[in-house]
Amino acid sequence: MAGESGKIDPMHQFQIEPLAPLNIGGYDVSFTNSSLFMLIVLGALWLFMWGGMKRDLVPGRWQMAVEGVTGFVNNMVTSSVGPEGKKYVPLVFSLFMFILMANFMGMMPFGIVPGVHPFTVTSHLTVTAVLAVLSFGTVLVVGFWRHGLHFFSLFVPHGTPWWLLWLIPLIELFSFLIRPFSLALRLFVAMTAGHVLMKVLAGFVINGLNAQAAWVPLVVSIPSFILMIGITLLELLVCAIQAYVFALLTSLYINDAVNLH
């Protein structure tokens, strides 16, 4: 987005703008561009699953794609948790697909349509924090439901020397409590940094082409454009990796709660 000085603001893409202002009881509950893209992500996810759940004897490409993703997540959870992990596959699958769809949706070239701008919901800490709390809350519920107060033994690893019992539980507790923060921050930082870098490079390309000196496009715009293509491809890979890492860590955290020794 160009500002008054003609420069491109790389942070403008993260601005939440109300599309349907609404105020209830003094609280702003407006329908925003963030809300719109979350609905678009959910709609795309529903369409993807609906089109691939036909259960034909000879599956088509769409059904094979859905079965491939579900099988991938199922194998990841069962390999991390064990046979009891199957009951947690829907949760991990939902987290994985929502993050993956949201990440890719923010990379779509909606900007070619006048007045339309893509929005990456996972570039906001509030969204990633809610996903992290959902993951962390599941671990707490499963842990206390299955083991009761014995769940606290998670903070005392087997074989801990007696003379370290005053220190190791504190370290393990801190490591445990930091999990939701690391989950939320990792996804938030990865998506924000990648989009900022692409916007900065795009600014170099546009400002170089608009420069009066003839040599500027050759020295600035063309190298920036080539680098921007590479960064865009890398960011697409990061979109998938971050969804996988979030789902994998959630599976490992669930394993701690299920298979407590």
pLDDT in tens, 27-45: 888 999 999 999 999 999 9
Other beta carbons less than 10 A from residue 22's beta carbon? 10
pLDDT at residue 2, rounded to an integer: 46
> What are the tokens at 193?
């940094």
Other beta carbons less than 10 A from residue 148's beta carbon? 9
Nearest of 136, 80, 257, 179 to residue 72 by alpha carbon: 80
pLDDT at residue 5, rounded to an integer: 46
pLDDT at residue 145, rounded to an integer: 93
> What are the tokens at 1?
């987005």
DSSP code, position 221: I
3-state secondary structure of 93: helix
> pLDDT tens digits, residue range 219-238?
888 999 999 999 999 999 99
Phi and psi at residue 31, in whole multiples of 5°? -80, 115
pLDDT at residue 7, rounded to an integer: 67
Q: What percent of the chain has pLDDT over 70?
A: 97
Per-residue pLDDT, averaged over 62-68, amounts to 88
Cβ distance 131 to 184 under 8 Å? yes
Q: Looking at the predicted structure, is the pLDDT value of residue 131 above 80?
A: yes
Q: Looking at the predicted structure, is the pLDDT value of residue 253 above 80?
A: yes
What is the reported pTM? 0.90
**Do β-strands 23-24 and 18-20 pair in parallel, antiparallel, or remain unpaired?**
unpaired
Nearest of 30, 6, 3, 1 to residue 16 by alpha carbon: 30
pLDDT at residue 261, rounded to an integer: 67
What gap in Å lies between CA 225 and CA 222, rounded to an integer? Answer: 5
Q: What is the mean pLDDT of the chain?
A: 89
Cβ distance 77 to 92 under 8 Å? yes
